[in-house]
Amino acid sequence: MASHSDRLWGARFATGPSEAMARLSRSPAGYFRLLPYDVAGSRAHCGELLRAGIVSPEENDQIIAALDAIEVEFNAGQIQPTADDEDVHTLLERLLTERLGTLGGKLRAGRSRNDQSANDMRLLLRDQGRRLARQIHELQHALISQARTHLHTIAPGFTHLQQAQPIVFGHQLLAHAQSFLRDVQRLIDWDRRCSLTPLGAAALAGSAIAKGSDQAAHEMGFDGSCENSIDAVASRDHVAEFLFITSMLGINLSRLGEEVCLWTSRQFRWVELDDGYATGSSIMPQKKNPDIAELTRGKAGRLIGNLTGILATIKAQPLAYNRDLGEDKHQVLDALDTLDLVLPAMAGMIETMRVNVDELRRQAPLGFTLATEIADWLSLRGVPFKQAHEITGSVVRLCEDLGIELSQLNAEQLQRVDTRLEASVLEVLTLEAAIDARNGHGGTAPVQVARQLERLESSLAEQARWCARYQGPRAG
């Protein structure tokens, strides 16, 4: 068990913590991955101590060199926490004192684990937010590639899971791409609010030593410092908001996964998955299962659970800091690890899937999906839409009675329904005519889908530039 001097808080206590207390208090092994972010904050804080006269220029150089070496060794897998390292902050101080002696203990002046922990989380989230955006972009590019291939592939569009109107399949794929575009837009918007450092808040009242937080903020890649020292250490709404983004991303992934499950079924027969992105059955040799899509649907529930977990944790906490807030790392790291598994698998599955173009076209007119063309044709000739709707419904009933599709009607049959249905209405009862008629902004006409593709690629390029512009904390 660690001695009083090895802990960050033990001087006031006559004895060390019980074994049960130590086990509960110690950070899980996964939390120690935050060490590089704790190092980054420590570099910036060392500059604060230099400006305050707590460390000399020579001591500052020694501490920075040690911090740099620790980060390199940790990233190379050469540093592991011990059972006595309560958390990442304890680990870092131990490593510094082992290398620098009493000088390593100087770095604690003017700061608290409260502002350290809050700062580490913000650095992690800003860094991982860009990484997450890049992973989403890989899936986006897979969707875009398939959409470009199927710009003229006609498919049935659905509402209420019933065939509704013909669309091009590329348009359906880009509907998912638009959802993922907004997920990254939310990350960008969130980042603007999260770009403030809590360092300098110390435990809650601010630091009597570290007073140049704006300079430290700049060194860590932040835009500035938190306005209120109590709020800086006690609030986790930025964590909850980040987890909402990952939850919404999970939901959007789940919706795409659900459609893949439908598309690959024998009832749909729209898509066949590549063997590398599907599995079989242990008892039924013929099976080819869309496991990636199904696992993704399941993981969405886990992502939603992380959001509800942090909301439940912070909902009734008094100001300022409370130890409950340590749960934020569990939920954030789990969300990031979950998406690390899901996003590459989904991108590969979409990129390699094969679309049955002929089957999509065969199904496109089934279920009277061209009925709206008749109603629109009548409206364009001055018939009130209420009447046009009723006339079209009568045409559909006639087809059902005759056991034919709309495209199989002749002029005489149309006239029996309503004399205003001239033979020229048959010209709009084709899949191509129905598709080409939807040529307004955002419509399914191939010309508009192609323009949508261009705008989407431009937006993704700007998002990629946002990722690239972030340099993060400056090295020592």
User: In this structure, what DSSP letter does residue 167 have?
Assistant: E
Name the band, by pLDDT with cuts 50, 70 and 90, for residue 471.
Answer: confident
Q: Supply the pLDDT for residue 281.
A: 83
Find out whether 406 and 374 touch, Cβ atoms under 8 Å.
Answer: yes
Residues of the chain with CATH 1.10.275.10: 4-109
CA 340 to CA 254: how far, in whole Å? Answer: 15
Name the band, by pLDDT with cuts 50, 70 and 90, for residue 476.
Answer: very low
Buried b (16+ CB within 10 A) or exposed e, 132-149: bbebbbebbbbbbebbee
Q: Indicate the residue type of 314.
A: I
* C-beta neighbour count of 337 within 10 angstroms: 12
Of the residues 281, 407, 424, 458, only one is catalytic, namely: 281
Name the CATH superfamily housing domain 371-429.
Answer: Fumarase/aspartase (C-terminal domain) (1.10.40.30)
One DSSP character per residue, 114-161 reads HHHHHHHHHHHHHHHHHHHHHHHHHHHHHHHHHHHHTSS-EEEEEETT
Of the residues 3, 160, 282, 441, only one is catalytic, namely: 160
Name the CATH superfamily housing domain 4-109.
Answer: Fumarase/aspartase (N-terminal domain) (1.10.275.10)
Single out the residue of 211, 208, 201 nearest to residue 233, CA to CA. 201
Residue 16 has pLDDT above 80, yes or no: no
| pLDDT per residue as tens digits for the range 148-206 | 999 999 999 999 999 999 999 999 999 999 999 999 999 999 999 999 999 999 999 99
Name the pTM for this structure. 0.93
Reply yes or no on whether 160 is catalytic.
yes
- Angle between the N-to-C axes of helices 371-379 and 385-402, in degrees from 0 to 180, rounded to the nearest 10: 150
The position carrying tokens 């705008």 is 455
Percentage of the chain modeled with pLDDT above 90: 90
Residue 18 has pLDDT above 90, yes or no: no
CA 258 to CA 269: how far, in whole Å? Answer: 14
Name the band, by pLDDT with cuts 50, 70 and 90, for residue 9.
Answer: low
**Residue 301 to residues 125, 176, 346, 458, Cα–Cα distance (Å):** 21, 19, 16, 32
Rounded to 5 degrees, what are φ and ψ at 272? -120, 130
Q: Supply the pLDDT for residue 1.
A: 43
Percentage of the chain modeled with pLDDT above 70: 97
Mean pLDDT of all residues in the chain? 94
Residues of the chain with CATH 1.10.40.30: 371-429
Least confident of 94-108, 280-294, 356-370, 428-442: 280-294
Residues of the chain with CATH 1.20.200.10: 116-207+227-363+453-469
CA 243 to CA 237: how far, in whole Å? Answer: 10
| pLDDT per residue as tens digits for the range 309-353 | 999 999 999 999 999 999 999 999 999 999 999 999 999 999 999
Find out whether 142 and 355 touch, Cβ atoms under 8 Å.
Answer: no
State the CATH class of domain 116-207+227-363+453-469. Answer: mainly alpha
